[in-house]
Amino acid sequence: MAQRASSLSRTTRETDIRVAIALDGAGVCDIQTGIGFADHMLTLMAFWAGFDLTVSCKGDLHIDAHHSLEDIGLTLGQALAEALGDKAGIARVADAKVPMDEALASVVLDLSGRPYLVYCDDLLPALIAGEEKDVWREFFKSLAQRAGMNLHIRYEYGQNGHHLLEAAFKALGLALRQAVQVCRSGAPSTKGSVD
């Protein structure tokens, strides 16, 4: 099987980002976004996905985390899509639920090539780790868009914002681990191609 990996960079006036991903890794990470909480979340996702992941970002954090997280999502999503290639043989669809103390989050996804995000975040507090909760919607939206992923995230219950997001990122990792698994031959679609 060909190596399922990708390395990308993205540079704008707002951010300078480098991402390297290997889907058949061991969960080895080097994440340096300039946002400690984001480093923690991305490390959790990669570990539970079994991806080797390197992310570096120099962003306009003097404004806020919005541009950095949005652009990390775009770059990571594109790297994931490139690493998947033609998606031959992958399971494609997966789901996971993860508890974190009092919180529970569920993730359902389809690497269909048709991006869509359903994000039920009513339970999240307005601020998490000093940033507006909306920056996480933007991250997931960007990730789904560039990965060509139909992504549904629901925070089932919980009170602590850190716990809720941690459960979601772990669930995302577990669902990705299942979805990228090679378990058949040919395109994972009755129409003969994914997209």
pLDDT tens per residue across span 75-87: 999 999 999 999 9
Start-to-end CA span in the chain (Å): 22
Q: What are phi and psi of 60, to 5 degrees?
A: -85, 65
Where residue 2 falls among pLDDT bands split at 50, 70, 90? low
β-sheet bridge partners, residue 110: 93, 150
**Helices within the chain (DSSP H only):** 36-49, 66-84, 134-147, 161-179
**pLDDT score at 185:** 77
Mean local confidence (pLDDT), 187-191: 57
Mean pLDDT to the nearest integer, 171-194: 81
pLDDT at 194: 61
Q: What is the CA radius of gyration of the chain?
A: 16
88: left (phi over 0), alpha (psi -120 to 50) or beta: beta
- Calculate what percentage of the chain has a pLDDT beyond 90: 92
Residue 190 maps to a domain: no
pLDDT of res. 17: 98
User: In whole angstroms, what is the distance from residue 88 CA to residue 184 CA?
Assistant: 8
pLDDT digits (tens, 9 = 90+) for 15-27: 999 999 999 999 9
Domain assignment present for 73: yes
The answer to whether residue 191 is domain-embedded is no
Is the pTM higher than 0.85?
yes
Give me the domain span that covers residue 149: 5-179
pLDDT score, position 187 = 58
The count of structural domains within the chain is 1
For residue 117, being part of any structural domain is answered with yes
Contacts of 57 (CB under 8 A, 6+ apart): 15, 16, 17, 18, 32, 33, 34, 35, 68, 71, 72
Question: Nearest 5 degrees, angle CA 184-CA 185-CA 190?
Answer: 90
Domain CATH number, residue 159? 3.30.230.40
- What burial letters (b/e) apply to 86-96, b meaning 16+ CB within 10 Å? ebbbbbbebeb
Q: Residue 11 falls within a domain, yes or no?
A: yes
pLDDT at 190: 53
- Domain presence at residue 142: yes
Say if 75 falls within a structural domain. yes
pLDDT of residue 3: 87
Q: Is residue 70 within 8 Å of 139, Cβ to Cβ?
A: yes
CA 67 – CA 127 distance, rounded (Å): 17
Residue 119 lies in a domain: yes
